[in-house]
Amino acid sequence: MDTFLYYIKNFAIPILLVGILFASIFLIFKRLHNQWSYKNKKKYRTFIQHFLIEITIEEFNKQKVKQKLKLFRNSIPFNSAWCKELIIDEMIRLKKNLKGDKLVIISILYKSLKLHKYSSKLIYDFRAYKKCIGFYHFMMMDYYKGKHLIIPYLQSENDLIRSNANVTYIALTDLSEEHLIHTPEKISKLNVIKIMDIIYSKKKEYPKSLDFLIASKNALLIKIGLKIRAFYNHRADTDQILQLLYHRSESVQIEVLKTISKLFLIEAEDKLLDIITSQSKKFQINCYKCLSTIGSNNTTNFIIKTIHGIKDVDVQFSAIYCIEHLNPIQAEQLATTNFELEKMLKHVKTVWK
pLDDT tens for 311-340 read: 898 999 899 999 989 998 888 888 888 888
Whether residue 336 lies inside any domain: the answer is yes
242 CB burial (10 A radius; 0-12, 13-18, 19+): middle
Confidence of residue 42 (pLDDT cuts 50, 70, 90): confident
Alpha carbons 159 and 170: distance in angstroms, whole number: 17
Whether residue 226 lies inside any domain: the answer is no
In which domain, by residue range, is 317 found?
Answer: 264-353
Whether residue 95 lies inside any domain: the answer is no
Whether residue 258 lies inside any domain: the answer is no
pLDDT in tens, 185-202: 777 788 888 888 888 877
Confidence of residue 352 (pLDDT cuts 50, 70, 90): low
22 CB burial (10 A radius; 0-12, 13-18, 19+): exposed
pLDDT in tens, 145-164: 999 999 999 888 898 898 89
Whether residue 7 lies inside any domain: the answer is no
Whether residue 71 lies inside any domain: the answer is no
Alpha carbons 196 and 177: distance in angstroms, whole number: 16
Whether residue 183 lies inside any domain: the answer is no
Alpha carbons 74 and 232: distance in angstroms, whole number: 49
Q: Which amino acid is at 153?
A: Y
281 CB burial (10 A radius; 0-12, 13-18, 19+): exposed
The closest alpha carbon to 81, from 126, 148, 134, 142, belongs to 134
The domain total for the chain is: 1
